[in-house]
Amino acid sequence: MGFAFRRMVVAGVGLIGGSLALAARQRKLVEEVIGFGRGERNLRVALKEGMIDRYFLREEELPRGVDLLVLATPVQAVVPLAENFLPGLESGCLVSDVGSVKGRIVRDMEKLLPKRIPFVGAHPIAGSEQWGAAAAVAGLFSGQRCIVTPTRNTDPGALKRIISLWRRVGARVEAMDPEIHDRILAVVSHLPHVLAYAMVNTLGRSAVDSVDPIHYCGGGFRDFTRIAASRPELWRDICLANRRAIGKRLTEYIKELDRLKRWIREGRGDRLERDFTRANEIRRQMAS
């Protein structure tokens, strides 16, 4: 198979954007990959590691002939950045993103972009707590799920091309309504990150007789809170963009904690064991 795209711009050459650029180059899916970002040091790393062929730092320097623009920035920056790029985008250029929140982005992008510039929302469910070009790996998406979020306004040809791109870098692609996507991700991704940040902040405020517990954290605490090392501004934006769904899940979680607190206070071991057993069974289903 030949090139899927001739000239791809990746705006935000971090873990996800850099990994997509690296995978596309290694699999010869794109003839040229160009990076864009605010931090030149990070772009130099991407250039050195072979993720991109060149880079630019200002939206007005967008090269001619770009046929794929991938917006891999924090979610709050996706639409404003697309608006800044819009004067330089040529007819037929496909625009996509990799954001963890889809409903708001899809709605705003469909309002912003003219029909001559198609948009397809995408979210590869892959990554780690690391960030920046130095964290990118070509095999990041292999065997991982990538959700695309078309609407009735989505150009069928553009959708087909984005699906093909993600499949060719190893992802398992699934189409989903943008709002359903956001409600699901609020449970399985966004809420856990909020809880991890809260748990680590609780640790930081929990001196015991002048002894700092941070020096006594075992593997369980480190595993549970690993994602609290994730990029803070990225998760700030996700929380704000998906605030309704996250807020609902937080309310449910607080109710669960209140119930556990009551049973612990009352010494209700039977209730605790029942709840822990149910959680154990659900967790086993996740592993199967």
CATH assignment of 180-287, among 3.40.50.10210, 3.40.50.720, 1.10.3660.10, 3.40.50.300: 1.10.3660.10
Residue spans in the chain of domains classed CATH 1.10.3660.10: 180-287
Cα end-to-end span (Å), the chain: 35
Strand 54-56 and strand 122-124: pairing? unpaired
Of 62, 271, 71, nearest to 162 by C-alpha is 71
Burial group, residue 2, by CB count within 10 angstroms (0-12, 13-18, 19+): exposed
Q: What is the CATH number of domain 5-176?
A: 3.40.50.720
Tokens of 132: 């920046």
Amino acid at residue number 184: I
Tokens of 154: 């989505």
Range with lowest mean pLDDT among 29-38, 39-48, 140-149, 227-236: 227-236
Beta carbons of 148 and 159 less than 8 angstroms apart? yes
pLDDT in the model for residue 1: 61
Query: Does the predicted model carry a pTM greater than 0.75?
Result: yes
Beta carbons of 9 and 70 less than 8 angstroms apart? yes
Sign of the four-CA dihedral 258, 260, 262, 264: negative
CA angle 238, 243, 246 (to 5 degrees): 90
For residue range 214-243, list pLDDT tens digits in order: 877 788 878 888 888 888 888 999 999 999
pLDDT in the model for residue 288: 52
Q: Which residues contact 37 (CB under 8 A, 6 or more apart)?
A: 11, 12, 13, 43, 55, 57
The 10 Å Cβ neighbour count of residue 142 is 13
Of 264, 244, 224, 16, nearest to 125 by C-alpha is 16
For the segment 113-133, the average pLDDT, to the nearest whole number, is 90
Beta carbons of 44 and 104 less than 8 angstroms apart? no
Residue spans in the chain of domains classed CATH 3.40.50.720: 5-176
For residue 287, what pLDDT band results from cuts at 50, 70 and 90? low
pLDDT in the model for residue 42: 93
pLDDT in the model for residue 257: 94
